[in-house]
Amino acid sequence: MPPILEVRGLKTQFSSPKGFITVVEDVDFVLEAGATLAIVGESGCGKSVTAMSLLRVLPEPPARIAAGEVLLAGRDLLRLDEDQMRKVRGRDLSMIFQEPMTSLNPVMSIGKQIVEAIREHRAITGQAALEEAVALLERVRIPDAKQRIDEYPHRLSGGMRQRVMIAMALACRPKFLIADEPTTALDVTVQAQILALLARLQSEFGMGMLLITHNLGVVAQIAQRVLVMYAGRIVEEAPVRDLFREPLHPYTEGLLGATPRMHQDADEGARHRLIDIAGIVPLPDQLPPGCAFAPRCPKAFARCHVEQPALLPTHDGRKSACFLTQNSAVTA
């Protein structure tokens, strides 16, 4: 059986002068080995906090994981102490971030940092680790890896730094890679290189990947399954093709309609009008009662403003948290 990472009922809160504010609630999903699951949503939807909760890298306090389980081969990561968790990070689960400088040490050569990452989890000699570090840099396609290994992070371009961070994350061949907006800070031609690299490495290593992004183009290109988050909750889950072909949740529909599409605009004589979603994302401490999307939803009706729709299966392995899709679906 291939390894599976299972998240159940995750709830993450931040303390504030007004008490605890829930920023992630009722998050359930399964990440399979070798597959890519994307979490997509706009800023403040809780996608990054979800990712950081799995690895337990949120500062506690002010953060606290108030409920839920993160099961890796049957073991609940949320119950591990910091020593045990450190062994999990890097070996089972690794993470890469939008800005590599936040996780690279500015005063240590990139070679030393990769060697450290390797020796953290494996008992091998410094020389052997160094050779592996060079091999890793070659795998992430850093030219002249042997010479570059003594460079410091600030001497590298943004794209090269991201490659170094990927090399470090893969040093111990983790089962799962969490990539939080890995290409958002990069120019588009470099983004394409990094996305292609991630897809290739993933199939070579047989890793599961959890991709956190706001970019629907990136989702369409590399994910197999997608979770759409809004105001701290999953509002829709679907295989990528189904989601783009027939979005079930009105928020997903809005996101897709708001995205400019180069190929459509060019083919049509006149440009189509983007669908805008009225209003803005509510702050986590100012969530409306009922469905958090209801005040912006063109299809909302009375029930939406008083009752929270649960994320329920609809059809074909899809889930949606909307009364409209649930009414038309087979009731479980």
Shortest separation between residue 290's beta carbon and another protein, angstroms:
20
SS3 3: coil
Contacting another protein (CB under 8 A), which of 115, 277, 291, 292? 277
Alpha carbons 248 and 273: distance in angstroms, whole number: 21
Shortest separation between residue 68's beta carbon and another protein, angstroms:
26
Distances (CA, A) of 248 to 190, 239, 297: 33, 12, 13
Question: Judged by CB, which is closer to another protein: 134, or 218?
Answer: 218
Shortest separation between residue 274's beta carbon and another protein, angstroms:
4
Helices (H) and strands (E) in the chain, counts: 12, 12
Alpha carbons 92 and 33: distance in angstroms, whole number: 11
Pick the piece of the chain touching another protein (CB under 8 A) from 20-28, 89-97, 107-115, 152-160. Answer: 152-160
The encoded tokens of residue 317 equal 């392995």
Backbone dihedral angles phi then psi of residue 27, each to the nearest 5 degrees = -90, 120
Subset of residues 59 to 78 that bind another protein, contact rule: CB under 8 A: none
Binding mask 163-202 for another protein (x = CB under 8 A): ------------------------xxxxxxx-xxx-xx--
Scan for tokens 């009364």, then name that residue: 323
- Residue 297 touching another protein (CB under 8 A): no
Contacting another protein (CB under 8 A), which of 144, 147, 259, 317? 259
Contacting another protein (CB under 8 A), which of 51, 240, 291, 311? 240
Pick the piece of the chain touching another protein (CB under 8 A) from 16-24, 50-58, 99-107, 266-274. Answer: 266-274
Question: Judged by CB, which is closer to another protein: 108, or 275?
Answer: 275
Shortest separation between residue 275's beta carbon and another protein, angstroms:
7
Shortest separation between residue 42's beta carbon and another protein, angstroms:
4
Alpha carbons 112 and 133: distance in angstroms, whole number: 9
Alpha carbons 303 and 14: distance in angstroms, whole number: 29
Scan for tokens 């073991």, then name that residue: 75
- Residue 276 touching another protein (CB under 8 A): yes
Q: What is the largest CA-CA distance in the chain?
A: 68
Alpha carbons 244 and 294: distance in angstroms, whole number: 22
Q: Which bin fits 43, alpha (ψ -120 to 50), beta or left (φ > 0)?
A: beta
- Contact (CB, 8 A) for 44 and 284: yes
- Residue 263 touching another protein (CB under 8 A): yes
Pick the piece of the chain touching another protein (CB under 8 A) from 2-10, 24-32, 50-58, 253-261. Answer: 253-261
- Residue 88 touching another protein (CB under 8 A): no
Contacting another protein (CB under 8 A), which of 63, 118, 209, 219? 219
Alpha carbons 48 and 53: distance in angstroms, whole number: 8
- Residue 270 touching another protein (CB under 8 A): no
Task: For the chain, give the number of residues.
Answer: 332
The encoded tokens of residue 270 equal 């006149």
- Residue 33 touching another protein (CB under 8 A): no
Bridge partner list, 286: none
Pick the piece of the chain touching another protein (CB under 8 A) from 58-66, 73-81, 156-164, 304-312. Answer: 156-164
Q: Please report, as ranges, the residues that interact with another protein according to CB under 8 A.
A: 42-43, 157-160, 187-193, 195-197, 199-200, 214-222, 240-241, 244-245, 254-263, 265-267, 271, 273-278, 280-281
